[in-house]
Amino acid sequence: MNNSFTQGNLKYSILTEDPASKTGTVSVSRNRGDPKDRIGTTLNIPSSIEHNGIIYTITHVESEAFYGCASLTCIMIPGSVTSIGWRAFRGCASLTSITIPEGVTKINDRAFSECSNLTSIDVEQENENYRSVDGVLFTKDMTTLVACPRGKKGEKYTIPEGVTRIGNGAFQGCNGLAGITIPNSLTSIGDVAFDGCRSLACVTIPEGVTRIGIRAFDGCENLKDVYFKGTPLEMNNGTFEKDTLFHYIEGTPGWTTPRWRGFKTEIWKPEE
């Protein structure tokens, strides 16, 4: 049995197959044998496809499935899709909005990274796993901020109280973001969460944050001041730019002045 087949400019990889009922499931991606621009400006992924007498339901958009399809302006995902792969639509620079159908149960990290003109990620109201608030993608329970569209308007953004996690790459490449308000409920900042947010100038890390991921603030070249309400955290190389100044509350254990692990430090008195 061939594990995949192509029709037009799309490739389908077989996930399951039942010869008796002549049905099965497949994942979808761009036919990588074609130039990226052949995908065109509008992508209408079908909910099912027939091949060799078998009807396959499209249930998964593969990782990097449409990576770099810069001419795409419109993508329609069918209700049959239950998962969207890692960086599935990365670099779709002309895409301005996208709607997540009700059946999607899993959206992998950075599915919409480097979509420079994407202003809104919408979710069908019936979806039980995700929701959209002002174009920003969250889990349904509002505990994880999954993705902020790179082209979202406004220089400042306030993460809603109750969010405990900023997902991997959630704000990656949001060049226009100059200010971010992080709620006290937050406990985790994912890998490359704010990578490349070149306009970001100041961040306050709540006391409850226990993890800041790899390269979380890498490439934030104008981020000069980070205020910590709690004790120091384990940080990997590239978490912050090396010339960032760390401010900490006087008397908080673990911090040292004038430097902490190579970073410049300064005592912070929040009441001032």
Residue 110 lies in a domain: yes
Say what the pTM is: 0.93
- Residue 88 sits in a domain of what CATH number? 3.80.10.10
Q: What is the pLDDT of residue 272?
A: 52
List pLDDT tens digits, range 38-91: 888 999 999 999 999 999 999 999 999 999 999 999 999 999 999 999 999 999
Domain that includes residue 85, residue range: 60-268
Q: What is the pLDDT of residue 234?
A: 86
Please check the confidence at residue 140 and state whether its pLDDT lies above 90: yes
Please check the confidence at residue 270 and state whether its pLDDT lies above 60: yes
Q: Taking residues 250-268, report their average pLDDT.
A: 93
List pLDDT tens digits, range 84-126: 999 999 999 999 999 999 999 999 999 999 999 999 999 999 9
Residue 134 CB burial class (10 angstroms; 0-12, 13-18, ≥19): exposed
Residue 225 lies in a domain: yes
Residue 37 lies in a domain: no
Please check the confidence at residue 1 and state whether its pLDDT lies above 60: no
| Domain count for the chain | 1
List pLDDT tens digits, range 219-249: 999 999 999 999 999 887 789 988 899 999 9
Q: What is the pLDDT of residue 44?
A: 94
Calpha distance 224→178 (Å, rounded): 12
Please check the confidence at residue 192 and state whether its pLDDT lies above 60: yes
Residue 112 lies in a domain: yes
Query: In angstroms, how far is the first alpha carbon of the chain from the final one?
Result: 71
Residue 229 lies in a domain: yes
Residue 36 lies in a domain: no
Tell me if 116 sits within 8 A of 139, measured CB to CB: no
At residue 154 the predicted structure's pLDDT band, cuts being 50, 70 and 90, is confident
Please check the confidence at residue 144 and state whether its pLDDT lies above 80: yes
Residue 52 lies in a domain: no
Average pLDDT for the chain: 94
Calpha distance 254→179 (Å, rounded): 27
CA diameter of the chain = 74
Residue 52 CB burial class (10 angstroms; 0-12, 13-18, ≥19): exposed
Residue 211 lies in a domain: yes
